[in-house]
Amino acid sequence: MIINSKTMPSVKITAASVCKTKENHTPGMAFHDAFRAIIFILALCLFPGIAGAQLKTIPIKINVAAAKALEGAAVKAICTGSTCPAGKTCHDGCCIYPLGSPAQGNWNYIINSNCNAMKDLKLSFKVTKDIEAEYDIAANCAQIPAAGAQKINNTQGVVVQFNCFSKDADKTANTGGMVQYIFYISGQTVYPHIQYVSGTPDGLDHDWLWQGGNTFPGLQLPKANTLSAGYTVQVELGTDNNGYVNNVTFTVIDNHGKSYVLTAPKSGTPVPQATAARPGTLYPLRVAEFQTNVVSTNGLYVHFKSGGEGTLTYSSKDVLCVEGGAYEHCVNAGTGTCESSNAIYGALSSCCTQAGQSFSQSVKIDN
């Protein structure tokens, strides 16, 4: 989820606070009528894990001019025997745009396929050492919290954001074409989400959130707010021949190899609490580029317990290449996710893949 650094609410949303009184309100939520508000309050009381799952937020804005200046200052470098194009630099053996900041928390390498729509994109995160959320910090969208930032003694959990960018998305309020495919780990429950942050051309709300009944039947994590070693979360973006995403499958594989699968509802599929304005169904968009962030929700910085590790793996029918960059060049989004963490992302295992093959990068939790 992403949020505007100037308007980010500083309040902490919990099920307990909402259930105490009907006068409390969740920042950023708007309900069409009182009945839906009552349903929401009841759901929070019965299922406290959804407390941070429902904010629809606005992204921070990256200074694209400054990023372009940084690229313009890049010196041509010899990289694996060849000269990098103007504006790019040799980093980890690949000619990429300068990252602008370390690959950590809310900033990772950007990946694309020569700015073409990526077909049948598959994104996965396999945990090799527990990724455990210990506490959150109100960091005001900073990648690393400033000294004296407010520490919150509990946590919203672990959020794996596969943040994609599309030229087809609506351009709502400087959101830059962002579409988020999210695994939200709260308590011992995993909630898959889709958020069309930039909206869709039809002007409807297609976000697939908690009210869509999207929990994995039979899945209970062994430890609260933790992705344990051996677990994998993956999302598969099935596409038509033109690259429009027309099928989205979320999968959790537990540490015994058992798979739990949910498919996002398509047009015409009944969705709990859906309305004409909020169908909550899949909208076909093409993905031009993406980055992955292992972070928090609701604009928070999450501190993960030191020692956690995992591997991010990406594949497509097409060639994928690491772009680097301080902003998304294909969509020219100039946006980023507000949430951050102490997760450190390693270099990609290669500069590009072969068509149909994959490459990967490490995730390690800093102190």
d(CA 330, CA 320): 13
Kindly report the number of other CB atoms within 10 A of residue 267's CB atom.
11
Residue 86: predicted pLDDT: 85
CA atoms within 13 A on the CB side of 17: 10
Residue 211: predicted pLDDT: 55
Model pLDDT for residues 290-310, shown as the tens digit of each residue: 999 999 998 899 999 999 999
Give the distance, in angstroms, between the CA of residue 120 and the centroid of all CA atoms in the same chain.
Answer: 18
Residue 342: predicted pLDDT: 97
Provide DSSP, 198-256.
Answer: T--TT-----B-GGGT---TT---SSTTEE-TT-EEEEEEEE-TT-BEEEEEEEEE-TT
Residue 272: predicted pLDDT: 85
d(CA 57, CA 269): 26
Residue 172: predicted pLDDT: 57
d(CA 340, CA 142): 7
The amino acid sitting at 174 is N
Contact present, 246 and 286 (Cβ < 8 Å): no
Low-confidence ranges of the chain (pLDDT < 50): 2-58
Terminal-to-terminal C-alpha distance of the chain: 24
Residue 72: predicted pLDDT: 84
Model pLDDT for residues 196-216, shown as the tens digit of each residue: 988 899 999 999 986 556 889
Residue 24: predicted pLDDT: 33
Provide DSSP, 47-98.
Answer: -GGGTTS------EE--HHHHHHHHHTPPP-EETTEEPPTT-EEETTEEEB-
Q: Which residues contact 268 (CB under 8 A, 6 or more apart)?
A: 281
